[in-house]
Amino acid sequence: MKKLLFLLPILLFAIDLQFKCDEILHKQAFDICYSCKYKHPLAVTYILKGDLVQKKLSRKHLTFRPDYNLPAKCRSYSKDYSRTGYDRGHLAPNAAFDYNRAIQKQTFLMSNIAPQKPQLNRRLWAKIEKFTRILAIKYGKIEVTTGVCGNKGYIKNGVGIPKYWFKIIYIPKLQKSPAFLVPNTNAVGRRKIKEFLVDVKEIKEKCGF
């Protein structure tokens, strides 16, 4: 099993987040640590540049597609999520890469998708992603790790359901890493993002890294 070491928070917290990746996928603008056991990514890491995040190319005609760079036994499919009560949640969000059509398409690969409750995906998590883009615009460049951890069952085709979603944002200019840890429930949809700000150490402890 391959290990992917995320160094973003180390400068400030001296913490190494080590994920046991069955597959490591290098896309044009982001890297994926993927779990064949759960058929979804464990983490995605990328750099976000403030001068690019406001281009806003349309997502029209973009569709979810299997990632054929994964072994067949590891793949998930868009239909696995149908009528399950879970959205297809992006780890590398389309809105972060809507300056480039090819990268946009890569964000819709199922290797970048994990089950996410609708009210979390469409409300609270959307706010966290918007906040991330605002930081990129303000500080010029940030480094982001988005991940999931825990398991509370399965949807179709053996796709695992994460207990938590998290995002770690490293701001080089400040040498600070604001982070969020959110339970994968509909109940958090209307809550404020500041309620879920955590120290990176809490993510390490809660997720068992």
As annotated, the active-site residues are 90
Q: Please, what sign has the CA dihedral across residues 5, 104, 40, 209?
A: positive
Other CB atoms within 10 A of residue 202 CB: 13
The answer to whether residues 8 and 136 touch, using CB atoms and an 8 Å cutoff, is no
State how far the Cα of 140 lies from the Cα of 174, in Å rounded to an integer: 11
Other CB atoms within 10 A of residue 206 CB: 16
